[in-house]
Amino acid sequence: MVIIMKKLNLISLAVVVALAGCSDNDKNTPEPAVPVIDPVPVPIESLTVKNTLAVGSEQCINGGIETLTGDDSNQNGELDADEVTTTTVVCNDAETSLNPQQLAPLTTNTWYKEAHTKLASSQDNIANIVKESGKAKNVILFVGDGMGISTVTAARILAGQLQGKMGEEHQLSFETLPFSGFAKTYNVDAQTPDSAGTMTAMASGVKTDVGVIGIDEAVVNGNCLSGKGHELVTSLELAEIAGKSTGLISTARITHATPAATYAKAANRNWEDISDMPESEAANCEDIASQLVNFEKNLEARFAGIDVDGLEVVMGGGRRHFLPKDAAYNSADAVSSVEGDRTDGRDLTAEWQAQYPNGQYVMDQAGFNAIDVTNTKHIFGLFNESHMQYEADRGNDIAGEPSLSEMTAKALDVLDNNEKGFFLTVEAGRIDHAHHAGNAYNALSDTIELSKAVQVALDKTSIEDTLIIVTADHSHVFTIAGYPKRGNPILGKVVAVGETEPTLAADNMPYTTVGYANGGGFRDLGEETDAEVGYDFAPVTGRVDLTDVDTQSPGFHQEALVPLSSETHAGEDVGVYAIGPGAHLVTGTNEQSFIFHVMDYAADLVKQADAKVTK
């Protein structure tokens, strides 16, 4: 505040006294009396006070000067509030730029600096992205089965906390990809989808019904003949016809809905082997496992004039669907007394090896490690009787099995031997299964492993000629709730900002940050790393006192609002992340089938395949 006083110069009045002249001769003459003069009143000063108004003030948004004037009636030399008679305000003109001092609170802030750096890199990404069609020599599609937005967020936090960070600021590998958007996951006949319909949309560019694989919505679920003439062509099949190397990896059974949608046509997703099919349907349609082994033959029979060499890499679980129902065919790590399910007596693993005598069939970690990636043309890996292990449970596998990131690395080393490029689909299938079991620990651990697999792909390929897309087929009813403080363990109980003890709900019991809207609910299985064990117990209804429960242990299953035998999918959109030629098309909210068209644009799959088919 600047105070300016207007001071008056007071002139003291002199009293002029007229003296009568005196003479020596008149000494007795009395002197005249001095006149009495009344005191002169002291004038009242007029004061002016000027106040500087700060930027953002109510009177002047850009700052200014407030001038107060009035009389100092109490003569204390200050302009009191009750003495102000006039107030004037002069506002500054709007700033056209901020000076360094004004910007300092922003430019020195870490959040500001990080965002500024990100802005610059985003501009570079947009400027440098290959926008022309057909420039992607290679395409890799990663699918986190059941990996909704809340799963990505929670996995990000957990991954960061496992590295000693607070967690929220961390990023999974695919979250760093420069282009992203959302996919609408509904099926033609369902608001909340299943994996068969969603993966068919991504693989073929056409949405279809729940439970249907590789056939459009004209099919009647479970009716084989109704699908004839409505079979779709997949991106993997187009790449195969175009002469590219092709690969498929999943931690689920390789005949399960998501991986199957890349190569099979089935009116019912459950027809994984012939024993799963009614006799009437088996007489007219081929089971999914058989379609995988006969992929090359079937494709050549369907399209005239083509000559393909089959899938170069297939790795996943589901060995039981490829073996006869005969204990003599059991593998070394069989968990069932009779491992195989097939009732037609066929050993599809032997049939595959007969087709590809120079290929390698492997079923354990040792066989996987021994693969010669330079000279091996075809790999068929079936590492488990059913699904592969959860990443956290992988060490308990009887014969040992590779991780998703290890399989991705091996596949890329084999596929990149083709100068025409490759097409690879990689599914983290067990994210979905852990969520169904209500076990966030395994769902998030497998999401983190997917992130590692994506990083492997980023390290082994070039963004100049490889399009990488990471997405999910659908989400789950998995939530992040409460008001936990920053850095609170994501698998822990809610502890509010400024507190050290868990927050209590209205029932005076603590609750966890993550949970499920439905499912089996609470399980306290300690260090158990196999989420499937949770199915050994009946669904829990009502709340449970978690005061003395370690909710961060692998075997803890979160509480669920609605008790069900198994947790369900959710219907919200899922994220899509991309890098490489054509990645700029991944933006906004689109139908899930749009993903196929992005891949086709980037690699000219339809155009290249069409050129190989005899007209």
Amino acid at site 225: L
Choosing among 1.10.10.200, 3.30.420.480, 3.10.180.10, 3.40.720.10, the CATH entry for 129-451+465-477+568-610 is 3.40.720.10
* CA neighbor of 263 nearest in space, from 230, 298, 229: 298
Q: Which residues contact 246 (CB under 8 A, 6 or more apart)?
A: 236, 239, 240, 311, 312, 313, 415, 422, 423, 424
pLDDT over 90 (residue 42)? no
CA distance 200 to 185: 11
In tens, the pLDDT along 411-468 reads 999 999 999 999 999 999 999 999 999 999 999 999 999 999 999 999 999 999 999 9
**Percent of all residues in the chain with a pLDDT value above 90, rounded to a whole number:** 85
Determine whether 195 is an active site residue.
yes
CA distance 4 to 68: 10
Q: Where are the domains of the chain?
A: 2-91, 129-451+465-477+568-610, 484-567
The SS3 assignment for 154 reads helix
CA distance 488 to 502: 10
CA distance 407 to 190: 34
In tens, the pLDDT along 520-546 reads 999 999 999 999 999 999 999 999 999
Report the pLDDT averaged over residues 319-337: 96
Catalytic pick among 173, 195, 250, 451? 195
What's the whole-model pTM score? 0.86
Report the pLDDT averaged over residues 107-128: 90
pLDDT at position 62? 85
